[in-house]
Structure 1
Amino acid sequence: MTQCPHAETAAAVPLSGPRFQTEPAQLYREMRRDHGSVAPVVLDGDIPAWLVLGYRELHQVAGDPVLFSRDSDLWSQWENIPDDWPLLPMIGRKQPSILYTVGPRHVERARMISDALEAVDPFVLKRHAEEFADELIDRFCTTGATDIIASYAMLLPARVLARIYGVSDETGDALVGSINDMIDGRERALAGQQHLATTMFDLLAAKHVEPGDDVASRMLADPGGFTDEEVAQDLMVMMAAGHQPTADWMGNSLRLMLTDDRFAASLSGGRHSVAEAMNEVLWEDTPTQNVAGRWASRDTRLGGRHIQSGDLLLLGIAAANADPQVRTDGSSLTGGNNAFLSFGHGEHRCPFPAQETAEVIARTGIEVLLDRLPDIDLDTPAEQLTRRPSPWLRGLTDLPVTFTPTPATGGRA
């Protein structure tokens, strides 16, 4: 067995359990109090890792791709990882996706993805989001009540992304469960990953025969000479990273607006408050809580810890956003402060066109919902709302609401 990197440190924190659902902010505060800015954690199967809690330390790790590499082959724990480990979709070996590509090839793949997304007309993207939003709202607007997560937020991003990527609407709907299973890292994670992979390879086969004005076709036509395997893997990343965090961004923002008096007065249509709620969520309740990962390419020190070559470091996005060293006033940040780390940092951060795509989908989804159902209200005590049991993404299991029944529009554009 490979030496545990935490042999010197007692009480490593399991990166699982109900507290990631119920009180993650308190959990991160306790970890920072007990361990400092870099905490020892254990993953499923007692696999050791480090969780980077400090804003400056996370900035350092994400900004140094040589010392803290994305090359998962460096990991010293591979001999202890079973083939059916449920976290393999999140921490994979020899996955030819952009997540694990380093050096010039990573730069070239990031350019290919950015170019393919940037070519999407923003007005067309918004129109797709409005069209699907209206269609989904039509399904429940006459009833006066719904679970806004299951009937709306969990469906909208995947449908819009499927449309711009070139996937059929029906196939896009079927991907939602697979993506959720893969990201939650439980017993169905590998099956979810396989279904997503099959869908992407089928898409590329169809686009070779009949290219279209879509992201997949543009990626295939890129002059960088990428293989179908590379393009399919990158599309998997783009679909998973684009759908679930965006759905959770919508859900978490709506929860804030429906439970916080600062936003109550604007539910009749104030556009500015939607942007403020979304920005505050990226600081205080970010969908992307923890990210795997980086691997130390040599022995080093970080946050007072001795990091051994081959150690896995997890980026504690939520903890770093709340780091008291950079949040000295303890205030809620709802204005134009975009220094949060919710989209990552460094050369492996979320490409800017992907961030813009997510923001257009989430904001349009919220605005259309509030336009159509202006008196929407929470149908359960706020303290009874629950979250999915994932240490990676933070999202609501449900968000029951009531509203005055309104007629369906017939899927207006």
Structure 2
Amino acid sequence: MAPDAVPLSGERFHTDPHALYREMRQRHGAVVPIVLPGDVPAWLVIGYRELHQLLSDSQLFSRDSDLWNQWDNIPDDWPLLPMIGHKQPSILYTVGEAHTRRVAVINDALEAVDQIELRKIVEQLADGLIDRICGQGEAELIGDFATLLPILVLAKIFGFPDEEGPSVGQALHDMIDGGENAIAGQQHLLGSMRRLLAARRVRPAADVASRMLANPRGFSDEELVQDLMVMSAAGHQPTVDWIGNTLRLMLTDDRFAASFFGGRNSVAEAMREVLWEDTPSQIIAGRWATRDTRLADRHIRAGDLLVLGFQGANDDPQVRVHQHGGSGGLTGGNNAFFSFSHGDHRCPFPAMEIAEVIARGGIEVILDRLPDMDLSVPPASLVRRPSPWLRGMTALPVRFTPTPALGGQR
């Protein structure tokens, strides 16, 4: 372990990440020696060009976690196991032709989701959530709205019964945050996916799970279970945080104030800015070196784990495009952020489309229904979730003029 390795923990990852990444870059360069929980060594890649190089070369930097040279030091109850994926036969950890076939199964299942119908589902479910709070004059938008909407939508299009959505969402939250409930969350999610596929094996329907089962490429039910878990995890919590971080930006930045009085063009702009400046997926594990190599000025040994620093790379001053009077903002049309990864294991395009429809549709429903919404606490008191991996709000309390419920009538 490097004597100056940075612990991948501590409040600065969620209170002041931009300054922290800047300090890391000044002290260590583009590839930072880090320590994971349990004194496990790894590398955090925060250089934009270096991360692009890593994600573009799947032969040298593999997604196969079996290559890791630290497995002998990893206990069975290590909280990051669900995020590392040892012995998990999912799309995240397959490589080569097998990975290509699994991507095709997921793409086929998600591309068949009708975008117009999806938008209707998002609006219907979002309206139902707003109906619960609109007469109160105050609400907490993370717990009352953002945490619920993505999983309710995904549960609907995947094929889950509506009542299972909240418990699946909590399990995903526990698993992704990598805390003491991570293993239990993973097991709950695993059981839910197995029950879903068993039900759809007997009674197919017009949903994602049924389409995956019917795909002729011939994957086992257990392989499909693992891929549904990945799709749920990738589709839920990052979308929760995309909604929450965008609402926070729009409620605290005067540039977006007009959106609360009938404007909608800046919703997409705010969502894009979040993907650059406040991306939900801050740090992701990982890639494993297939042989000894060098990245930037670091000697990387065969089997070393390289952790993907998406926000650190987005912050790389070598790729920043300055505007807003030189304040360091990014041009509105620049989509070269790392929020959806890059290369062979990039988030599938249909999944990105679905996430954007959920996030944008949910935000626009809030703006329609609660147009005079304002924060009910000082902006400086807002708290981020204590995780270096995903960046999101713990709470977003607001006040507004009470309005009547729609009751399903829009």
Q: TM-score, normalised by structure 2?
A: 0.98
Given that 1:259 and 1:382 are in contact with CA atoms closer than 8 Å, whether structure 2 keeps it comes out as yes
1:367 to 2:364 alignment: yes
| 324, 349, 363: which one aligns with 1:352 | 349
Deviation, structure 1 residue 269: 2.6
1:199 is matched with 192
Give the Cα–Cα distance (whole angstroms) in 1 for the partners of residues 408 and 200 of structure 2.
Answer: 28
Give the Cα–Cα distance (whole angstroms) in 1 for the partners of residues 269 and 213 of structure 2.
Answer: 38
Deviation, structure 1 residue 328: 5.3
1:228 is matched with 221
Moved over 4 A (4+): none
| 184, 189, 198: which one aligns with 2:177 | 184
1:392 is matched with 389
Give the Cα–Cα distance (whole angstroms) in 1 for the partners of residues 253 and 64 of structure 2.
Answer: 42
Give the Cα–Cα distance (whole angstroms) in 2 for the partners of residues 182 and 86 of structure 1.
Answer: 9
| 371, 376, 379: which one aligns with 1:379 | 376
Deviation, structure 1 residue 172: 1.0
Matches within 5 A, 1:140-151: 140-151=133-144
Give the Cα–Cα distance (whole angstroms) in 2 for the partners of residues 281 and 105 of structure 1.
Answer: 34
Deviation, structure 1 residue 174: 1.3
Given that 1:287 and 1:393 are in contact with CA atoms closer than 8 Å, whether structure 2 keeps it comes out as yes
1:22 is matched with 15
2:401 is matched with 404
Deviation, structure 1 residue 332: 1.6
Given that 1:279 and 1:333 are in contact with CA atoms closer than 8 Å, whether structure 2 keeps it comes out as no
Deviation, structure 1 residue 265: 2.0
Match of 1:32, as an amino acid?
R
Any idea what the Cα deviations from partners look like across 1:99-137, whole Å, max 9, x if unmatched? 000000101101110110000000111010000000000
Counterparts in 2 of 1:334 and 1:378: CA distance versus 1, 3 Å: farther
1:39 is matched with 32
1:112 to 2:109 alignment: no
Match of 2:354, as an amino acid?
T
1:339 is matched with 336
**Bigger fraction of residues in helix:** 2
Given that 1:276 and 1:334 are in contact with CA atoms closer than 8 Å, whether structure 2 keeps it comes out as no
Indicate the SS of the match to 1:223.
coil
| 63, 76, 87: which one aligns with 1:70 | 63
5+ unaligned residues in a row in structure 1: which ranges?
1-5
Indicate the SS of the match to 1:50.
strand
1:3 is matched with none
Give the Cα–Cα distance (whole angstroms) in 2 for the partners of residues 334 and 375 of structure 1.
Answer: 29
Any idea what the Cα deviations from partners look like across 1:245-277, whole Å, max 9, x if unmatched? 001000000000000000112212312100000
Match of 1:163, as an amino acid?
K
| 275, 292, 295: which one aligns with 1:302 | 295
5+ unaligned residues in a row in structure 2: which ranges?
none
Given that 1:373 and 1:404 are in contact with CA atoms closer than 8 Å, whether structure 2 keeps it comes out as yes
Given that 2:321 and 2:330 are in contact with CA atoms closer than 8 Å, whether structure 1 keeps it comes out as no
Indicate the SS of the match to 1:89.
helix
Deviation, structure 1 residue 334: 5.5
Match of 1:359, as an amino acid?
E
Percent identity reads 67
Given that 2:384 and 2:393 are in contact with CA atoms closer than 8 Å, whether structure 1 keeps it comes out as yes
Give the Cα–Cα distance (whole angstroms) in 1 for the partners of residues 198 and 328 of structure 2.
Answer: 51
